[in-house]
Amino acid sequence: MTGDGTRVVHAGLPTPVPGRPFLPGPVFAAPYHLDPVEGAGEDGYGRPDNPTRRALEAAIGELEGGAVRAFASGQAAITALLLSVLRPGDTVMLPADGYFTVRAFAEGTLRELGVGTVLAPTSGPYPSFEGVRLVLLETPANPGLDVCDVRAVAADAHAAGALVAVDNTTATPLGQRPLDLGADLVVASGTKALTGHSDLLLGYLATRDDELLHRATTWRAQTGGIPGAFDCWLAHRSLATLDLRLARQSANAAAVAGLLAGRDDVTGLRWPGLETDPSYARARAQMRRIPGIVSFDLGDAERVARFLTASALVFAATSFGGLHTTADRRAQWGDDTAPGFVRLSCGIEDAADLLADLTAALDEA
């Protein structure tokens, strides 16, 4: 198996043709020319068919180890998963500490459709899987960064007849490959670290199950939740630097976590790469690299605002995984976190500069 850096640079590239670019440009067409006799071929209409999108899906598929379908956003991918798999009378188990919009969707739309919901913390303990149709895991959880044992949960869930899906947004496929750990499906937001340039919205679903792939493909074609051709091209372009970006982000997170651990004005520090973190053992056993996300608490919203105002390098933003270090006070979005809770996403700045800036901003705040 080749190294991560080699894989991401070459993933999904076409066979070299003299005079043609490494990465072909996006195809914007909605209708395509059809064969006047045979009719539609592989590319008949832009919603179900697009060569640029297929190239991106092939690239992500090489990294996740399964067939991929790309969607307009991470939320579009998750809702496609939920609505293509679940039926009235089914029950879905969701992470109680995962992305809050998914829980809101379950409590609203899914409940109205007759789908029941069970919540379980990412780190466990898990209730019985009997009667559950789908178990959706998110590990590391967003924003609290707990980690679950995917292989163990998948084995127990499968024994009870449940499907298992893993939200791989925070880890990325270079951090862990849930399909190799026993999951039936992977779902993720490509908006975050996977593409990493804060310039597009993207989601995807990956699986090795032909029936589940067919359901997702049909759902996407009939509902139209596709990403644009140029977004797909940008995403494929960005994959080439994924290994480099993650390495710097993870190293910066280690340095930041070390800094914050030594301050008595910061509480609730979480980063699964710290030996003192509750998820350290699981993360070390299951993950190939730890993401560049650190969470902590500054006490109240006012202190978070002072910290962000004082910082010269940390941008206030709600996404994560980009080139620039960002921080988000999750409670402002209605997330059920403490008022001073901060999710810090480390960028690729020099660690010494980032630590100096954080120290000065925290001191001023």
**Topology (CATH) of 242-364:** Aspartate Aminotransferase, domain 1 (3.90.1150)
Give SS3 for 83: helix
Give SS3 for 114: coil
Local confidence band at 83 (pLDDT 50, 70, 90 cut-offs) = very high
Q: What separation in angstroms does the CA of 7 have from each of 12, 27, 88, 213, 306?
A: 9, 24, 41, 24, 42
Q: What is the pTM of this model?
A: 0.96
**Topology (CATH) of 4-239:** Aspartate Aminotransferase; domain 2 (3.40.640)
Local confidence band at 11 (pLDDT 50, 70, 90 cut-offs) = very high
pLDDT in tens, 105-143: 999 999 999 999 999 999 999 999 999 999 999 999 999
pLDDT at 40: 77
pLDDT above 90 (res 43):
no
Confirm whether 4-239 and 242-364 share one CATH topology: no
Within 10 angstroms of residue 144's Cβ, the number of other Cβ atoms is 22
Task: Name the burial class of residue 95, with classes exposed (0-12), middle (13-18) and buried (19+) by CB atoms within 10 angstroms of its CB.
Answer: buried
Q: How far apart are CA 249 and CA 334, in angstroms?
A: 27
- Where exactly are the structural domains of the chain? 4-239, 242-364
Q: How far apart are CA 293 and CA 291, in angstroms?
A: 6
pLDDT above 80 (res 1):
no
Mean pLDDT of the chain: 96
pLDDT in tens, 174-187: 999 999 999 999 99
Residues composing the chain? 365
Provide the β-strand partners of residue 187.
167, 205
> In sequence order, which residues have a C-beta less than 8 Å from that of residue 244 and are 6 or more positions away?
5
